[in-house]
Structure 1
Amino acid sequence: MLRRPGEYEPPIGKLWTRQESRIWTIVMFTGTCVLYASRAALPICAATVAKEFNWNKSDSGTVLSCFFWGYALTQLFAGPMADSVGGENILPYSTLAWTILTFFTPQLFDFAVWTNQPLFFLLLVRVLTGIGQAFHMPSMASMVSRHLTASDKGRVFGIVLAGSHCGTVLVGAFGSILLEKAGWRALFQFCGIVSLLWCWCLRWCLDHGRSRRISPTSEDDEMLKKSGVESHIVKKTLAVPWSALFKHPAFWAAAIAQYTGANAYFTMFNWLPSYFHEEFPTAMGFVYNVVPSSAVVVTSLIAPYIASRLMSTGRSTTATRKIMECASLLGVAACLMLVPLMSSFPMALTIFTMAMASRGLHHGGVSVNPHDFAPNHTGSVFGIFNACGAITGFVGVFLAGHILEASDNNWSLVYLVTAAQCVAGALVYALLGTANKII
Structure 2
Amino acid sequence: MAAAKGKPPSTLQISLSDSTNSKAAATVHYWSRQEKRAWTLALFIGTVIIYASRNAMPLCAVSISKEFQWDKAETGLVLSSFFWGYALTQFLSGYISDKYGGDFIVTLAAMVWGLLTILTPYLAYLYEDKASQLTFMVFLRVIYGAVQASHYPSITSIISKKLWNSRQKTVIYTTVISGGLAGNLISGSVGSILLEKYEWHRVFYVFGLLAIVWALSVRVFLMKQRLDIRLFYNGIIRTSDDVLSPSEATSPGSVPWKVLAKHPAFWAMVMGHFCINYSFFLLFSWLPTYFTEKYPGQKGWIFNVVPWVVSIPSSIATGFVADNIVAMGYSVTYARKFIHTVASTGIMVCLVAIGQTDNFNAALIFAAAALVFQSFSNAGVLTNPQDLAPNWAGSVFGVMNTAGAMPGFIGVYITGHILESTNSWSAVFGSAACVVAVGWTVFLTFGTGNKLV
TM-score by length of 1: 0.92
Cα distance between partner residues in 2 of 1:272 and 1:100: 27
SS at the partner of 2:29? coil
Instruction: Give the one of 180, 183, 186 matched to 2:196.
Output: 180
Task: Check if 1:429 corresponds to 2:443.
Answer: yes
Distance 2:297 2:22 in 1: 59
Query: Which residue does the alignment assign to 2:312?
Result: 297
What displacement does 1:424 show?
1.4
Deviation at 1:215, TM superposition (A): 7.1
Residue type of the partner of 2:270? A
1:123 aligns with 2:146: no
Could you tell which deviates more after superposition, 190-199 or 55-64?
190-199
Residues paired across the two proteins, number: 424
Q: Which residue of 2 aligns with 1:153?
A: 169
Alignment of 1:50 with 2:29, yes or no, is no
Identity among equivalent positions (%) equals 37
1:329 to 344, 365, 370: 344
User: Aligned to 2:122, which of 107, 111, 132?
Assistant: 107
> Do the aligned residues in 1 keep the contact of 2:125 with 2:133 (CA within 8 Å)?
no
Within the alignment, does 1:306 sit opposite 2:321 as a pair? yes
Segments of structure 1 that go 5 or more residues without pairing to the other structure are 217-229
Q: Report if the CA contact (8 A) 2:171-2:316 is conserved.
A: no
Q: Is the 8 A contact 1:102 1:192 kept in 2?
A: yes
Aligned to 1:162: 178
**Distance of 2:129 and 2:42 partners within structure 1:** 40
Give the aligned residue type for 2:162.
Answer: H
* 1:230-249 mapped onto 2 (5 Å cutoff): 232-236=248-252, 238-249=253-264
Note the C-alpha offset of 1:388.
1.5
Q: Distance in 2 between matches of 1:339 and 1:82?
A: 39
Q: Does 1:70 align with 2:85?
A: yes
Residue 397 of structure 1 and its aligned partner are, at CA, apart by 0.6
The whole-number CA distance in structure 2 between the counterparts of 1:274 and 1:383 is: 30
Are the equivalent residues in 2 in contact too, given 1:12–1:213 (CA < 8 A)? no
Residues 1:369 and 2:384 are matched in the alignment = yes
Indicate if the aligned counterparts of 2:92 and 2:398 stay in contact, CA closer than 8 A.
yes
Q: Within 5 A, what are the aligned runs for 1:159-238?
A: 159-208=175-224, 232-236=248-252, 238=253
> Secondary structure of the equivalent of 2:128?
helix
Counterparts of 2:389 and 2:132, CA distance in 1: 45
Give RMSD over aligned pairs: 2.1
Shift in Å at residue 112 of structure 1?
3.5
Counterpart secondary structure, 1:21: helix
- Does residue 360 of structure 1 match 2:375? yes
Per the TM alignment, residue 109 of structure 1 is displaced from its structure 2 partner at its CA by 0.7
Indicate conservation of the 8 Å contact 1:13/1:212, yes or no: no
Aligned to 1:221: none
**Aligned mates of 1:69, 1:232 — CA distance in 2:** 30
1:252 aligned onto 2:267 = yes
Q: Relative to structure 2, which stretch is displaced further, 271-280 or 331-340?
A: 331-340
Cα distance 1:185–1:430, how it changes in 2: closer, same or farther (>3 A)? same
- Change beyond 3 A, Cα 1:125–1:12: farther
What does 1:269-418 align with in structure 2 at a 5 Å threshold? 269-407=284-422, 409-418=423-432
Is residue 264 of structure 1 aligned with residue 279 of structure 2?
yes
Paired residues of 1:37 and 1:191 also in contact (CA < 8 A): yes
Inter-partner Cα distance in structure 1 for 2:70 and 2:28 = 50
**Who is 1:419 aligned against?**
433
Matched residue type, 1:420: C
Following TM superposition, the consecutive aligned residue runs of length 4 or more in structure 1 with deviations greater than 6 angstroms are 8-11, 209-216
Kindly state the Cα deviation for residue 7 of structure 1 after the two structures are TM-superposed.
4.8
The amino acid of 1:429's aligned partner reads: F
- Is the Cα contact below 8 Å between 1:36 and 1:168 reproduced in 2? yes
Instruction: Give the structure with the higher percent helix.
Output: 1
Secondary structure, counterpart of 1:400 in structure 2: helix
Q: Check the 8 A contact 2:117/2:207 in 1, yes or no.
A: yes
Report if the CA contact (8 A) 1:78-1:135 is conserved.
Answer: yes
- Rounded Cα–Cα distance in structure 2 between residues aligned with 1:43 and 1:164: 15
> How many Å separate the matches in 2 of 1:148 and 1:297?
23
**Cα displacement string for residues 158-202 of structure 1 (whole angstroms, at most 9, x for unaligned residues):** 111111111000110011111110010011111112112211211
How far off is 1:139 after superposition?
1.1
Cα distance in structure 2, aligned partners of 1:49 and 1:189: 15
Task: Pick which of 298-307 and 205-214 moved more.
Answer: 205-214
Asked if the contact 1:31/1:198 (under 8 Å) is kept, the reply is: yes
Aligned partners of 1:88 and 1:206 also within 8 Å: no
Query: SS in structure 2 opposite 1:235?
Result: coil
CA spacing shift, 1:235–1:404, aligned 2, 3 Å: same
Equivalent in the alignment of 2:75: 60
Structure 2 counterpart of 1:193, one-letter code: L
**What SS is found at the alignment partner of 1:430?**
helix
Task: Give the whole-Å Cα distance in 2 for the aligned partners of 1:305 and 1:355.
Answer: 20
Q: Mark the CA change 1:7 to 1:71 in structure 2 (over 3 Å): closer, same or farther.
A: farther
Q: Write the deviation string for residues 249-290 of structure 1: whole angstroms up to 9, x where unpaired.
A: 011111111011111001010000000000000011000000
Q: 1:115 to 1:405 in 2, by over 3 A?
A: closer
CA distance in structure 1 between the aligned counterparts of 2:257 and 2:339, rounded to whole angstroms: 27
- Would the aligned equivalents of 1:325 and 1:361 in 2 still touch at CA under 8 Å? yes
- Deviation, structure 1 residue 37: 0.4
* Unaligned runs of at least 5 residues, structure 2: 1-14, 226-238
Partner of 1:220: none
**Conserved? CA contact 2:194–2:203, under 8 Å:** yes
